Amino acid sequence: MSNLTGMWTLAQREISRFLRVWQQTIIPPIITSTLFILIFGYSLGSRIKMVGGIGYLEFIIPGLLMMGVIMSAYMNTSSSLFISKFQKNIQEVLVSPLAYWQVIAALTLAAVLRALLVGIGILIVSFLFANLVVGNIFILLYFIIMVSIIFAFAGIATALWATSFDKMNVFATFLITPLTYLGGVFFSVQMLPPMWQNFAKFNPILYMVDGFRYGFIGTSDVNIWYSVILVFLLVVGFGALCVHLFKIGYKLRD
Amino acid sequence: MDAITIKNLKKIYPKIEALKGISLSIQKGEFFGLLGPNGAGKTTTIHILTGLANKTSGDVMLFGKDIEEDYKEARALIGLVPQEFNFDQFEKVYNILYFASGYFGISSNLRKVRIEKVLRELGLWEKKDMKAITLSGGMKRKLMIARALIHQPKILILDEPTAGVDVETRKSIWKFIRKLNQEGVTILLTTHYLEEAEELCERIAIINHGEIITLDSKNNLLKLLEGERLCLTLKEEIKIPANLKKYNVVLNGKIMTIALDSKKDHWETVLADIQGLPIEKMETQKNKLEDVFIHLTNE
């Protein structure tokens, strides 16, 4: 039984959920990124010398875009699934003949769409302020979609694990946000002292931002293939984790 | 083929053994009641059947489909009306059914037809554009019944379907599910209202402390306690006289109830024994399922 209708219905519900409150789901990350562009890029950035051979504004935009994408994908699945658990309407899905991978795929599809809409919004704003040139559209699409999927999966895993709203915020506040800010959004890893450069290489978000930036400027701090492969492995790893958690009913079934 | 087959089903939580190896079979088209006091294991059993709880061990098959190995096929056969409201309260009635039926793979066009039919049958069509949170308790129960039926399941599982609803709504729900059963849907009902089970079920299992303590037809269960009760309304409050202590007597103010065992208690003796009591009114009552339930569970 393939039940693609079921999968699409769940994705539809998730998409309509975030579109219904677009003022809360789409606009805020675009405004935040615009403020970063104006303050760090346009204003302060004009006093900072070139980074990696390009203007500071052009340097930070791919990172800001990736920040918006990461948080949007993560927030979509984590908040939706957690509230569904809290309200118990996740039971509608659990009693249905949807395969576990289909539930995950539907939640992820909606999260990727939200992340793409946020990404496109930030990109449009960026074009107004910077001389952006798209170097490799396939690399851009690869990173934006794969990174959205990784953080959609991470959001699912967090929502399953969390038993309270406080716990829900633990990962976003203490892990994703610091790793994103330290992941080379505002600086090149080569600007760090050698010891911190080595530390930074353990931060997976660095590879995501760096790989995505490669799609614009054609150069990267880390070998692009490392980033491509790491992102692929993270998708496979988090995907397998989510399917496993659903299969055993981790904090979903008594 | 049985609709539901449960063999040696166990569920062990960290601190409690909720099901201690229950076994039962429910035939296709049957109206089956699962009764028991709070915490007996009724809802755990239902949750295992429907995929809301994992079993610890044992086998559960729905029309021959294993609930774990063939979980998608098994779940497609079941409609669940849970005890607690578990829909998105802020969603419109129509959308709740539209999405729920979609999860079962029903096409968009067919969904529209079925939603209208089931909402009309349950008297909710006029409420289709209202948010679920605005419905009354009885309407919310009906909405959960509509949602459970939207994919036309072969087995309908109702966990306390009439809890907290008024008498009129309860009767209309009874009528509706009885009609479904007559159309061939196998029904498994748990309820606290023993009157409900007595009214609807053909066979009944009574579960207590995770074990099935009896499983029989409703008529046989009612025969378990053969006899009657003699209810006396007294003119004044008295103490139970010594000559009545050989009977099972309950005195509550001016109401005295004497449980009679038809095998050993004879009417002539009973009437002789109650002579001299300040009786205002006297009536006899047949045993009800409630008496059997209390007798078996000692609750």
Mean pLDDT of A185-212: 89
CA distances from A230 to A158, A174, A226, B124, B280 (A): 21, 22, 6, 53, 89
Cα dihedral sign for A86, B86, B50, B21? positive
A33 DSSP assignment: H
How do residues B5-43 score in pLDDT, each as one tens digit?
Answer: 999 999 999 889 999 999 999 999 999 999 988 888 999
Closest CA–CA distance from residue A95 to any residue of chain B (Å): 6
Q: Is residue A3 part of a domain?
A: no
Q: Is residue A6 part of a domain?
A: no
**Contact residues on chain A for B55, CB-CB shorter than 8 A:** none
Per-residue three-class SS string for chain B: CCCEEEEEEEEEECCEEEEEEEEEEECCCCEEEEECCCCCCHHHHHHHHHCCCCCCEEEEEECCEECCCCHHHHHHCEEEECCCCCCCCCCEHHHHHHHHHHHCCCCHHHHHHHHHHHHHHCCCHHHCCCEHHHCCHHHHHHHHHHHHHCCCCCEEEEECCCCCCCHHHHHHHHHHHHHHHHCCCEEEEECCCHHHHHHHCCEEEEEECCEEEEEEEHHHHHHHCCEEEEEEEECCCCCCCHHHCCCEEEEECCEEEEEEECCCCCHHHHHHHCCCCCEEEEEEEECCHHHHHHHHHCC
For residue A144, the model assigns a pLDDT of 97
* Cα first-last separation, chain A: 26
How do residues A70-93 score in pLDDT, each as one tens digit?
Answer: 999 999 999 999 999 999 999 999
Residue span of the structural domain in which A179 resides: 26-248
**Contact residues on chain B for A92, CB-CB shorter than 8 A:** 86-87, 99-100, 103, 147
**Contact residues on chain A for B156, CB-CB shorter than 8 A:** none
**Contact residues on chain A for B84, CB-CB shorter than 8 A:** 88
Percent of chain B, pLDDT > 70?
94
How do residues A153-190 score in pLDDT, each as one tens digit?
Answer: 999 999 999 999 888 889 999 999 999 989 888 888 88
Mean pLDDT of B96-113: 96
Is residue A114 within 8 A of residue A26, CB to CB? The reply is: yes
C-beta atoms of A12 and B80 within 8 A = no
Percent of chain B, pLDDT > 90?
60
pLDDT greater than 60 at residue B239? yes
Is residue A168 within 8 A of residue A254, CB to CB? The reply is: no
For residue A203, the model assigns a pLDDT of 94
Question: Under CATH, what is the fold of the domain B4-222?
Answer: Rossmann fold (3.40.50)
pLDDT interval class at A191 (50, 70, 90): confident
CA–CA dist B74, A1 (Å, integer): 11
How do residues A230-251 score in pLDDT, each as one tens digit?
Answer: 999 999 999 999 999 999 999 9
Which of the two residues, A48 and B151, has the higher pLDDT score?
B151
Closest CA–CA distance from residue A61 to any residue of chain B (Å): 38
The chain B residue lying nearest A20, using CA atoms, is B91
- Partner A, chain B 174-233, Cβ-Cβ below 8 Å: none
Percent of chain A, pLDDT > 70?
99
CA distances from A41 to A66, A71, A130, A220, B290 (A): 16, 21, 9, 19, 77
CA–CA dist A71, A76 (Å, integer): 8
How do residues B171-195 score in pLDDT, each as one tens digit?
Answer: 998 999 999 999 999 999 998 777 8
Rg of chain A over Cα atoms, rounded to whole angstroms, equals 19
Range picked from A179-188, A192-201, B62-71, B283-292 for highest mean pLDDT: B62-71
Question: Under CATH, what is the fold of the domain B227-297?
Answer: Alpha-Beta Plaits (3.30.70)
C-beta atoms of B44 and A254 within 8 A = yes
- CB atoms under 10 Å from CB of A124, counted, come to 10
Give yes or no for B84 touching A (CB within 8 A).
yes
Closest CA–CA distance from residue A24 to any residue of chain B (Å): 17
**What is the residue extent of each domain of chain B?**
4-222, 227-297
Residues in chain B: 299
Q: Is residue A18 part of a domain?
A: no
* Cα first-last separation, chain B: 36
pLDDT interval class at A56 (50, 70, 90): confident
Q: What's the ipTM? A: 0.89
**Contact residues on chain B for A88, CB-CB shorter than 8 A:** 84-86
Q: Is residue A1 part of a domain?
A: no
Mean pLDDT of B188-208: 88
Q: Is residue A102 part of a domain?
A: yes
A44 DSSP assignment: G
CATH topology of B4-222 equal to that of B227-297?
Answer: no
Enter the tokens of residue A123: 């990109």
- CB atoms under 10 Å from CB of B179, counted, come to 11
- CB atoms under 10 Å from CB of B252, counted, come to 7
CA–CA dist A159, A234 (Å, integer): 18
Q: Angle at the Cα of A68 (from A65 to A69), degrees rounded to 5?
A: 85
pLDDT interval class at B127 (50, 70, 90): very high
Q: Of B11, B91, B103, which to mutate for an interface test with A (greatest number of A Cβ within 10 Å)?
A: B103
pLDDT greater than 60 at residue B225? no
CA–CA dist B234, B238 (Å, integer): 8
Q: Which residues, at least 6 apart from B144, have a Cβ–Cβ distance to it below 8 Å?
A: B81, B82, B85, B86, B87, B161
Identify which of A4, A96, A254 has the shortest CB distance to residue B104: A96
Domain count for chain A: 1
For residue A51, the model assigns a pLDDT of 73
Of A111-115, A183-187, B120-124, B185-189, which range is least confident? A183-187
